Amino acid sequence: MRRNLFFILIVLSIVILTGVSCKSTPKTTEEPAARPAQTAASPASVSLATEARKRAMDFECPAYFPSEWESAEAQFTAANDTNAYNAVAAVYDELFKKTVPLYAQAREDEIIAAREQLVSSGFTEYFPQYLKNADDLALAAMEKYEAEDYYGARDAATAAMNEFETLLAGAKIFLTRQEIIDRGFTQYDADNFLKADEVAQAAIEAYDAGNKEAALASGEEALLRYNIVLSNGWTAYAADRKASASSERQLALADRANIASRETFREGDSHFNQAEELFAAETFSEAALLFVEAEAIFAISRKETEEKRVRAEEAIRIAEEKIEESSGAANEAERIIEGGSR
């Protein structure tokens, strides 16, 4: 009996333990379907997008279409597979196509403006071949653009613009020299003027030889010397004009123009005083011009005074004649009266 009871207990224990074990085992669930692996970006697609981006940047696309550029940049940063890189490459290419005509027009406008400034300086009348050379470079840029060689067109346009800028530097030297000659300033600093001419000639020779670096260096020295001559010329010229204006002012005062032509004299005096202040401040070019104006106005005041004097003298003469006529008539009347009384 005890043996049977013991056996039953063992069997129950096994059953209970088995049940507990079954309950503690978690129910198996289905594994989620595996996500498809992303397609890795191919080197070719990355290169395609990178090159498209560089091409757009080289032609200043960010400046022309800033908002669209920012959007493309965000798309490029987020790209992580072949399709994404190909898509952003297409976006950059579209921006490039929109930018190129605008970029080309801007370069053309710059070249035309520089050319017009060069021609208006008069410089090309003396050096027409230089203008032709620069024009040839500009035409080459246009031909490359029309052939859709955009990088070649860009480089040719840059070369043309550099050429026009070099010639404009020459034109500046030319105009400064011409101003010195037109104003007669060579007499004030003849040595520097002759030296400037020598250096300017050296610049021309270097340019003709294709050594633009040396040409620019000599050109800068020539311009410096011409400017010294110009500065010395204005200083001396202003002093001369001051002396002339002072002399004319004294003559006007001697003629009493400050009384007879008061308003005109005051205007001249105002210019003269302003010129004196500018001269003291060493603003010689402006002072010289005001001294010239003052001198002219003082001369006008003297002329007005003389005309008024002549008119006054004529009026006095006429009045005296009338007085004489009146006196003669009175005498004649008196004579007749006296004769009649007899």
Report the distance separating Cα 159 and Cα 137, nearest Å: 7
pLDDT digits (tens, 9 = 90+) for 57-92: 999 999 999 999 999 999 999 999 999 999 999 999
Q: What's the DSSP call for residue 81? A: S
Quote the CA–CA distance of 292 and 238 in Å, as a whole number. Answer: 9
Tokens of 99: 């930018």
Mean pLDDT of 143-163: 96
With respect to residue 265, please indicate whether it lies within any of the assigned structural domains: yes
Based on the fold, state whether residues 244 and 171 are members of the same structural domain: no
Sign, Cα dihedral of 242, 245, 247, 250: negative
Give a yes or no: residue 130 inside a domain: yes
Is there a contact between 70 and 56 (Cβ–Cβ < 8 Å)?
A: no
Q: Are residues 91 and 163 in the same domain?
A: yes
Which alpha helices (DSSP H) does the chain contain, by range? 2-24, 43-58, 61-64, 66-78, 82-120, 123-126, 128-146, 150-182, 190-208, 212-254, 257-260, 262-280, 284-341
- The reply to whether 167 and 60 lie within a common domain is yes
When pLDDT is cut at 50, 70 and 90, the band that residue 30 belongs to is: very low
The pLDDT confidence band at residue 326, using thresholds 50, 70 and 90, is: confident
Please state, in angstroms and as integers, the Cα–Cα distance from residue 295 to each residue in 225, 243, 269, 298, 303, following that order. Answer: 31, 10, 9, 5, 13
**Residue 232 located in a structural domain:** no
Containing domain of residue 135, as a range?
A: 44-182
Going by pLDDT thresholds of 50, 70 and 90, the confidence category of residue 314 is confident
Residue 160 near residue 134 (C-beta atoms within 8 A): yes
Q: What integer best gives the mean pLDDT of the chain? A: 86
Boundary-marking domain end, from 152, 182, 212: 182
**Can you tell me the mean pLDDT for 142-148?**
96
Please tell me the predicted confidence (pLDDT) of residue 339: 54
Inter-residue contact 174 to 190 (CB < 8 Å): no
Confidence of residue 4 (pLDDT cuts 50, 70, 90): very low
Residue 8 has pLDDT above 60, yes or no: no
**Among 182, 202, 218, residue at a domain's last position:** 182
Residue partners of 77: CB distance under 8 A and separation at least 6: none
Q: Examine residue 342 and state whether it is found in any structural domain, yes or no.
A: no
Count structural domains, the chain.
2
Asked if residue 244 and residue 176 are part of one domain, the reply reads no
Residues across the chain:
342
**Residue 153 within a domain:** yes
Q: Are 49 and 170 found together in one domain?
A: yes
CA angle 90, 94, 96 (to 5 degrees): 115
Distance in angstroms (rounded) separating the CA atoms of residues 11 and 17: 10
Are residue 174 and residue 88 in the same domain, yes or no? yes
Contacts of 275 (CB under 8 A, 6+ apart): 242, 245, 287, 288, 290, 291, 294
Residue 221 is assigned to a structural domain of this protein: no
- Regarding whether 168 and 242 lie in a shared domain, the answer is no
| Residue 143: inside a domain | yes
Same domain? For 67 and 175 the reply is: yes
Residue 292 structure tokens? 């010239």
Q: Cα(first)–Cα(last) distance of the chain, in Å?
A: 215
pLDDT of residue 321: 76
**Region 273-299 average pLDDT:** 95
Q: Is residue 74 part of a domain?
A: yes
Write out the two tokens for 300: 């006008």
Identify the CA nearest to 58 among candidates 21, 12, 107, 14. Answer: 107
Q: How far apart are CA 314 and CA 320, in angstroms?
A: 10
pLDDT digits (tens, 9 = 90+) for 84-115: 999 999 999 999 999 999 999 999 999 999 99
Q: How far is Cα 114 from Cα 121, in angstroms, rounded to an integer?
A: 11
